[in-house]
Structure 1
């Protein structure tokens, strides 16, 4: 992937970042050189599913973080996030279902774990968000975050699927999971995703309007 956006200086880490628990994540190699990465996050105290829905619809909005004005995306992970763009609005406008998100980030602030990708939002409601990328109409990437209310806070699960289930796509899958997004990068993403999801516990309460809670 082209590395044309420089990594900005890190923003202040206002709240301690969560550490990943190996028992709560898995990286599985599947048939036809596919890979699936699953994270069962610790509950998000003080966060509701409605807050998460609001957040993903307003991820590019400006907010005040550590005394500075910046996009919500940059505050979401103060070290790794580089840029978020609404590459294409949803049919009804904005960043809702049917929109295309451009996401630029570098896991662990490492250049070899740099991502600059555009995905379509194929689902966004109070149960979760699903981002999909296709090549020639064939799905090669899916990232789904699902959430639900629990006794200790919102239960949040992330599942990333790399590669197509078609045997004909095995060579493409092999390239994807060995060169573009290899297992080392997938494991770095686990650390990154655990950290950014944990930030929501501190970022959203007090930020989301009452109707989003």
Structure 2
């Protein structure tokens, strides 16, 4: 389903991006986003916890995940519900995306949600119980805005898994990681436009009062 782009994408220069390389081929990308105006941490938690639902977008009812990035998002599935049900801590998300809309930048992964609360979400992949890929978004409230930081860790810390890290470097080469950075800045910025559309209409507004009268 190809959706129109209704809201402007943020540009790369709106965020502070840092890259670090560690022993055994491990990499880390940190994106310190421009704060989200008019969005609260609890709304961000609700967004991720209900990402499998639909919303009104461009006069149609569409999957929220596709509206979140109309050009790059392909599919989202709840591969396994959380122990208490739904898209909460302990669930597994299947995520299909292609960064910059390029087939050679396509991912199709299943991540375990190891954290989801009002401070952020952490998505993890493990090999033999050891973390080899982790994406963590953290949020903190400011005055009428929320500070949002994304950290992508690629590779295991253990020297015994340096071979896995080499495979990850081939699977996620630097040009693909760079395309993901742009993608992440764009999708985080769109939350400023999408989340307010999910709020219930106020019944104490002047227009609502006129309709009631």
TM-score (norm 1): 0.91
Greater Rg, structure 1 or structure 2? 2
Displacement, 1:119? 0.4
Runs of 4+ in 1 over 6 A off after TM superposition: none
Secondary structure, aligned partner of 1:151: coil
Q: CA deviation at 1:206?
A: 3.2
Q: CA offset at residue 152 of structure 1?
A: 5.3
How far off is 1:136 after superposition? 2.1
- Structure 1 residue 23: deviation in Å? 6.3
Q: How does 1:117-156 map to 2 (within 5 A)?
A: 117-151=109-143, 153-156=145-148
Partners of 1:106 and 1:97 lie apart in 2 by: 25
Distance in 2 between the 1:169 and 1:21 partners?
35
Q: CA RMSD in A?
A: 1.4
* Alpha-carbon shift at residue 138 of structure 1 (Å): 1.7
In structure 1, the partner of 2:195 is: 204
Work out which of the residue numbers 7, 10, 23 in structure 2 matches 1:18.
10
Paired residue secondary structure (2:12): coil
Distance 1:59 1:170, change over 3 A: same
Q: Is the 8 A contact 2:39 2:144 kept in 1?
A: no
CA contact (8 A) 1:43 1:152 kept: no
Alignment of 1:1-213 (within 5 A): 8-9=1-2, 11-21=3-13, 24-151=16-143, 153-177=145-169, 179-208=170-199
- In 2, distance between residues paired with 1:133 and 1:18? 28
Measured in 2, the distance between the counterparts of 1:169 and 1:148 equals 34
